[in-house]
Structure 1
């Protein structure tokens, strides 16, 4: 079913799904926020009328009160609150700083990010740092936790997370509660498996770090990748 055959209230949502958020006009975005129109007009027609009343200016719309909005036929208190709440979210977003994304340039940078999570644990956990092409950290995730001597990671989950965040590089890490820095046979095998899977997806495994209570071992520094 193409967009033109849908009820007009459904068209902005369908367009969003088919073409993405950037394809929507201001009126279409407002129609999605409202969800429905009135008995006499669709949500899109109502949205066009509201936007026209403020010269298609979001700032001017944000100045309207709930009482102002309910003057439009088809806008009750619930819709008015939804519109005001959405605009308030936009206002708060605009004044917030973009979260600082550290850049990892060596194994010590990665260790400093993860040591507080892993150094004092009594059981093993497997974590990953996901980075963009500039080696900026875009996501950090704990993938598994296990027993005293082993934590098995699902490679599919690791790379699904990487793809979800458009990551081009990853650093994996786990702790050794025993205090030993020596990689186990399983550590070496999973590193190889992840590296090879990453090559297929063009997502580079940059390092695997083993963390103990007070120090770490880097596969990259040791030439084990």
Structure 2
């Protein structure tokens, strides 16, 4: 094997991590209850899509539950939205988040969580524990109301 071929075997990509938060601490909205999270999410949700197809978003929070950002995670069809846990947590890690609030809409307007919603919440909570990122709540969002897993005692411990 030539020296060039051997050298190319050891060529790898470099990953650089950086973080820049453009919102001063004093301007961040504190999430003290599920209603505040819902109000922030409703402002960020496209009204034309809320009852059309499922979407999944996360609120990223600092150590004092101040909102750092909202991130669109996935878009699905009328009855399902595939969510990749890796994408959720890489987003949280890049934003230096201490906690997250999960959110999805139900285009049908039904606020009751499905078995899939409950299973996903449990899975993401377990992932968060491994990374020391608190999964604080999971909201089901509709135009006129919301369901909070935390308020209803459905968040895994």
* TM-score greater than 0.5 by the shorter chain: yes
Distance 1:219 1:161 in 2: 22
The change in CA–CA distance for 1:98 and 1:202 in structure 2 (over 3 A counts) is closer
Distance 1:151 1:101 in 2: 29
Question: Of residues 42, 63, 84 in structure 2, which corresponds to 1:133?
Answer: 63
Partner of 2:79: 149
Determine whether 1:218 maps to 2:142: no
Distance 2:23 2:94 in 1: 23
The change in CA–CA distance for 1:97 and 1:141 in structure 2 (over 3 A counts) is closer
Distance 2:100 2:23 in 1: 25
Shift of 1:212: 1.1
Tell me the matched-pair count.
132
The change in CA–CA distance for 1:204 and 1:118 in structure 2 (over 3 A counts) is farther
Partner of 1:161: 91
1:149 aligned counterpart, secondary structure: coil
Determine whether 1:111 maps to 2:41: no
Distance 2:149 2:118 in 1: 9
Q: Which has the larger radius of gyration?
A: 1
Q: Which has the higher strand share?
A: 2
Shift of 1:118: 5.8
Distance 1:121 1:180 in 2: 11
Unaligned runs of 5+ in 2: 1-15
Q: Which has the higher helix share?
A: 1
Unaligned runs of 5+ in 1: 1-16, 21-95
The change in CA–CA distance for 1:175 and 1:158 in structure 2 (over 3 A counts) is same
The change in CA–CA distance for 1:118 and 1:174 in structure 2 (over 3 A counts) is farther
Question: Of residues 118, 122, 129 in structure 2, which corresponds to 1:199?
Answer: 129
